[in-house]
Structures are given as C-alpha cells and as structure tokens.
Chain A
Amino acid sequence: MNVQVTINGEKLSADVEPRLLLVHLIREVFRLTGTHIGCDTTHCGACTVLLDGRPVKSCTMFAVQVHHRDIQTVEGLEQNGALHPLQEGFIAEHGLQCGYCTPGMLMTTKAFLAKHPSPSEDEIRWAISGNLCRCTGYVNIVKAVQHAAAKLRAAAPAGGAR
C-alpha cells in the first residue's frame, strides 16, 4: 500500500506492507534512526514520535495508519543548526547517560511543554511516566525539562512553545 506522510515538515511516500510498523517505516524506510526501538512491547517509550502533535509509541501503530498525517521525530528538533531548548536542557542538566531513551523523552516533553509552559515537578514526572530511563533515576531529566521550560518561557513571553 502507498503511504504519504509528512515527517518533520517534509512530504514523503513509500509503498509498504500493511503489517509494517510505524517505527520501522521511520527507521528502515526513511532512514531516520534517531527514533529508537527499546522494548518493542509498548512499555518503554523510546520509540515516541509526535502524531499530529501528540506523543505516541511508534512501535504500536502501523505505517498505513499515518497516511496523510503529520509526524515529528527527534531529527526535527534542531532548527538551522540550533538545538531545541529541550536538547540544550538535557545537555546542561545531564539528563542522559546512555542516551537510549532520550529521543522519546524529548518528543514526549516537547508536546507536554507546549500545553504546560510552567509545569511542577509532579506534572513533569506524570508526563514522562510512559517513558522509561534505566540510567538517570529521572532527577536530571526533570531538571532538564525545567531548564527548557524556563528557556521557552523567556523566548516566548506570550506562553507559546515552539
């Protein structure tokens, strides 16, 4: 079947088997390997991408389901050579060690901060409760998200997140 999908603003298409998972379309057909496969069982969130702005687990959708829809992956965060404030936050606050969960953490928290520009620690922990990290204990991930939230608020006092 033919799938036409916008990924990080670029219109792409591919002929796929119906059983192809979205994460395999992204990684193997379009070669965007920033989206990771962790557990492959809908638990870990390493494969999180934004579907029409909402974070979803791309290992638990079929590629044919995203026909004519909009996907954002971690590759779309950097703009014109500048890292996204979340990426800067994860660096500044040591929000990663092995980095395997990071693409999913970034995409989940990007969507979260767009709706909650001034989150509490509890709200951040709630938002990332579907993303597992085996290294950090989450403390620095929470700090990284707070770092990015402050930066985004400073950049857009009207409250919008990019």
Chain B
Amino acid sequence: MESSCSKTRNPFTGAEANAVAVRVDHVCKEYDGTEVLTDVTFDVKPGEIFVLMGPSGSGKSVLLRHIAGLELPTSGTITVDGKDPSLEATRDAVRIALVFQEGALFNSLSVYDNLALYPREHRSGDEKSIDQKVMHALKILSVEDAARKFPSELSGGMKKRVSIARALVMEPQLLLYDEPTSELDPVMSATISEIIATLKHEYSVSSLVVTHDRALALTISNRVGILMDGKLVTLGTSSDLTKSKDPRIDDFLNPKIDIEHPRFKKLETKEAT
C-alpha cells in the first residue's frame, strides 16, 4: 500500500504538493427512477493509477463525472482529499483535471489559448511564465507544432494529447481520464498509455482512468475495478484480475468470438425460455 503522504511533483517547477486520495463511499445514482450506480465503494490512493473498466453503459463515465464534481450522487458520498469535489472551494483547494472522451477543447480558441486559459484566469504567473508552461506541456505531449492550430484542425489522437496537455497545465493533484484511448489506433493507444504512466511516475499524480482498453488497464494500473450494471463487481491488481475465476470478468477481459453460438442468439433463446 502506498503512503498516504505521497507527493506530486509540479511538472513545471519541480515543487512538491500532496497527491490526493479519492474516496467513493456507497454511491448510488438514479436518473428518472433508473439506477445507474448501485452502492459503489472504492478508494484511489495518493499517487496511484486506478483503472475503472466495464462494458458500455455500466456507469463508468457517470461515476467519473461525480468524482470531477460535475454531478451529485443520489446517495452516498464522494470525497477528494477529504472534501466534496462539487464545491467551488474544493476545486480552489484541490486541482482536479478531467481529460474528456471527446477532448472538450474550446473550439473558438487555438490550442495555445486552450492551454493558457487556466493559468490566465487563475492569474498563475505573467504571460512569459504562462508561455513557458504551455509550451512545456505541449512538448511533453509532442504536440508543440499544433500550438497555433484550432481544435477543428487536429486529428483524434492529437486532440487527446492536447486535452492531456491542457490538464497538465493545471498542475493537477488528481487526473481523471475518460476513455483516453477510445477511437485511436493501437499505436496511438499505446502512446497515450505510456503518457499516462509517465505522468504518474514522473509527477506522482493520482490518476483514475475509465477505459475499455484491456492492454492499458493491465499494463499501467496499480489497481483495477470492474463496474457492471452500475455495481463494482471486482477490485484488485491486474494480476488478481487475470486470475479471476468469475465467468463475467473472464468473458469481459477475454471475450471469445463464437460464430457457432453467437451471443445475440443466446439472448433470444433466453427470452423464449
């Protein structure tokens, strides 16, 4: 178990700050009477990479939005560094960065201005130091050539990298990734995985990654949780997971394509019986 006083290192100044812990405690969420999260409990330790996997529609992204403070749970509590992430005061005290699935870059701003927005609005330094931060972040993600481009001119992979660079400029204590490798080719997926691992190792940022990407989850995570139908069905290290005897987990991690007995026919048979 990692120490609770793990430190993050500022990628720009090298200064240390406390890496933060996330605690998700018996969280339930309902939309119009439909439960999408059911009694979810886990924690993310300071400085670790926690990967949350699960089939589409299992509630992973919803949970991530709750941890980012964008939504409130119907019941249960979520704390980041012991504080409620939905409060403005918490976001003032703890820097939580979210890398959105589609990037969520500001289309009216250039890549450079997308990255400079946070330090400018929070007055963290003069224009010269902001410029250094922005260019450094772009360089770390190897997208410095795109600085003057607009988001609409970028490929999917570049958008993801710019989005991570924008998160990095915030000097985050907690980095949340929503499907960082979706819609990317295998090489670009591997690159993004390497970037996430490097950010963790170099700067000890606590990271929570929501993904379908088995390779990413099993390679770079400290721990993995699997969410199915809004419930956390398993939690452990990647080796725990690969050794799991649970047929649902085995089917999710190693899906077999069975042309003789396809899944959709199985469903029809179930309904008929």
A and B bind:
no
Chain B residues in contact with chain A, CB under 8 A?
none
